Amino acid sequence: MSEDLTTFSAQQLAAKIKNKDVTASEVTQAHFDRIEKLDKKIESFLYLDKAAALEQAKRVDKKVAKNETLSPLAGVPLALKDVMTQRGVPTTCGSKILENWRPPYDSTVVKRLKENDVIILGKVNMDEFAMGSSTENSAYQKTKNPWDLSRIPGGSSGGSSAAVASFFAPLAIGTDTGGSIRQPAAVCGIVGTKPTYGTVSRYGLIAFASSLDQAGPITRSVMDAALLNEVIAGYDPLDSTSINQSTASLVAAANTKDLKGMKIGVIKELGGEGWQEGVVANFNQSIETLKQLGAEVVEISLPHSLYALAVYYLIAPSEASSNLARFDGMRYGLRVGDNGEKDVEAVMNLTRAQGFGPEVKRRIILGTYALSTGYYDAYYGQAQKVRGLIAEDFKAAFEKVDVLVSPTSPTTAWKLGERVDNPLAMYLADLATLPPSLAGVPAISVPIGLAKEDQMPVGLQIIAPAMQDHKNYQVASAIEAAQGGLLIDQIKDLASLV
């Protein structure tokens, strides 16, 4: 076959399979071939589920042969972040404490992917328990950015973003607690969506911070993100935070390129002094593009967003300290010191000491302290009050504008190892993505060019009111079309890899 099947979008591949131009088996094998040739340089995949993926592809091919009705993404390959349970498949959360654990059940997201005949190629790398902005906190390997192999791919969904940007899969699932879909998408020059909290089921998503965690798409185009979002979203009675309410069509919104009459707010507090010059320059250019597309652009203040970093690093670690208590060496995963001489408490302590990495331990300690007697009201309680103020800022802003915009990240991808010993510098990568997460509103990152200093990708973050995710897709699609092509197409040949 002369054409390279790994270079097509998910939408294009689905059409080719439906029209019998190619088989799902050929598409799947082409992606495995590319992974096996190049992923030793990127290190995005932790586990390839080759036999099951090819078997699923054969089932799709049989449906095509019988002219059965196909789902919009039938036969399209996907990379799955290793935080989603998948029955019988190793699920580690990037941690030694879950090494070799194979869940007995599918997460709801995986169940919906399978029902829609999306081909799951395997599990991709991540920061341990989704705690990090560079994927350097993984216990297994350090994933590279395909634009520059000396740089990070973002985090915590860095394996997902690197796999998509490397053309190993047109689709990936990431999870976003404080920016872990949007930031890696931005620094890898692709599209990443954090849906409205509660619209995608968290059942089977191994919890970091339950009031913040949300799964979403990472793709190379806005339309592919919309298609994948529609596949995985929907009410789930197995998730107590799932919202039983329908939303407007995301695919229809992604087909809309017109922004006439739309009012867009530029967040005053995000994107000024101290932010990378090339990031701000590309962001300013995207604002001009929005105006040319017919949108009215105004400045909007979210005054309490300045406290988002402090609020997040009290709330998220507090929830983590509660959620991660289940990893005790007693029921599943790693067990250390169980030689008949140690008591239960000693086994738990030894298991956690060896099973958790430094960043996870740091956040558990932070969270446990914030929840402790005498400090709960002063730290966790106060943080929740300020979180409410941040949400009120967004509510007030959306009474004036349809969507808000900011740069996705203060900088482009930094060098591997550059911030490993400086947790605060690492946390600052999420300055722009934390406020929407705390407010529970949907946000999308779309690429807007390369920074002049380092020729690395820059992302534009678009934020809509809760349950109005379609507005994000409308604006993102218009920006994408105005740029005259996908940014990621500039590295289709991936000269840095070959």
pLDDT surpassing 70 at residue 341: no
At 29-67, the pLDDT tens digits run 999 999 999 999 999 999 999 999 999 999 999 999 999
Mean pLDDT computed over every residue of the chain: 95
Assign 463 a pLDDT band (cuts: 50, 70, 90).
Answer: very high
At 342-391, the pLDDT tens digits run 688 888 888 888 989 999 999 999 999 999 999 999 999 999 999 999 99
In this structure, is residue 119 part of a structural domain? yes
Token digits for 115?
């029902």
Query: What does the alpha-carbon distance between residue 271 and residue 277 come to, in Å, rounded to a whole number?
Result: 10
Per-residue pLDDT, 1: 47
In this structure, is residue 234 part of a structural domain? yes
CATH number of the domain where residue 231 is located: 3.90.1300.10
Token digits for 279?
């990031």
In this structure, is residue 267 part of a structural domain? no
Using CA atoms, how far residue 45 sits from 38, 42, 121, 392, 444, in Å, is 11, 9, 9, 40, 24
Assign 156 a pLDDT band (cuts: 50, 70, 90).
Answer: very high
Using CA atoms, how far residue 112 sits from 73, 116, 225, 326, 349, in Å, is 11, 6, 15, 27, 38
Contact status, residue 61 vs residue 104, Cβ threshold 8 Å: no
Query: What are φ and ψ of residue 10, in 5° steps?
Result: -60, -40
In this structure, is residue 363 part of a structural domain? no
In this structure, is residue 74 part of a structural domain? yes
Per-residue pLDDT, 109: 98
In this structure, is residue 76 part of a structural domain? yes
Using CA atoms, how far residue 166 sits from 69, 257, 384, 476, in Å, is 31, 27, 39, 22
pLDDT surpassing 70 at residue 496: no
Provide the domain limits for residue 145.
5-256+443-491
In this structure, is residue 113 part of a structural domain? yes
Catalytic residues: 81, 156, 180
Q: How many domains does the structure of the chain reveal?
A: 1
pLDDT surpassing 80 at residue 338: no
In this structure, is residue 53 part of a structural domain? yes
